[in-house]
Amino acid sequence: MTRCIALIAHDQKKDDMADFANRHQSVLAQWRIVATGTTGGRIQATCPNLDVTRLKSGPLGGDQQIGAMIATGEVDMLIFFVDPLTSMPHDVDVKALMRLATVYDIPMALNRATAEILMTTHTP
Ligand SMILES: O=C(CO)COP(=O)(O)O
């Protein structure tokens, strides 16, 4: 079964995520991709050939959905470009997602430098 990668970016990091997805399009195409709603929309607009399953927007439960998918073994790797300089109403959801990625010990990149490494070291 194709392994699944989750892609998420906070608003200030969405340009970065769109660029990242564009540059790694051929590798990402080998994964099943899930994303929070707005991030997924940006990725699809930049990379129309990628098949992206869009969940709810982060503040409306998208982080929690991805956390649940980690808990059920449906998400194998998380790339989350976080904005460390803006406070978020759904900060508790973000923390819960990171906690579950840690509990289930899946590869998790929270910035681009680490995401770049995961793209070269982890295959679906
Ligand atoms: O807020 C987010 C993650 O916490 C991202 O959600 P969106 O991709 O819907 O903006």
Q: Which domains does the chain have, with CATH numbers?
A: 4-121 (3.40.50.1380)
The alpha carbon of residue 81 and the mean position of all alpha carbons in its chain are separated, in whole angstroms, by 8
> For residue range 60-118, what is the model confidence (pLDDT) as tens digits?
999 999 999 999 999 999 999 999 999 999 999 999 999 999 999 999 999 999 999 99
Q: Is it the case that residue 16 has pLDDT exceeding 80?
A: yes
Please determine, for the modelled complex, whether the ipTM score is greater than 0.90.
yes
CB of 62 closer than 6 angstroms to any ligand 1 atom: yes
Ligand 1 centre to CA of 59 (Å) is 6
pLDDT at residue number 56? 98
The confidence score (pLDDT) of residue 123 equals: 84
Pick from 33, 41, 34, 36: nearest CA to 9: 36
Mean pLDDT of 31-57: 98
Nearest CA to ligand 1 atom 5: 58
Token pair belonging to 48: 């129309």
Binding-site residue positions for substrate: 10, 14, 36-39, 57-58, 90
Q: Give the Å distance between the CA of 120 and the centre of ligand 1.
A: 25
Q: Is 0.90 topped by the overall pTM?
A: yes
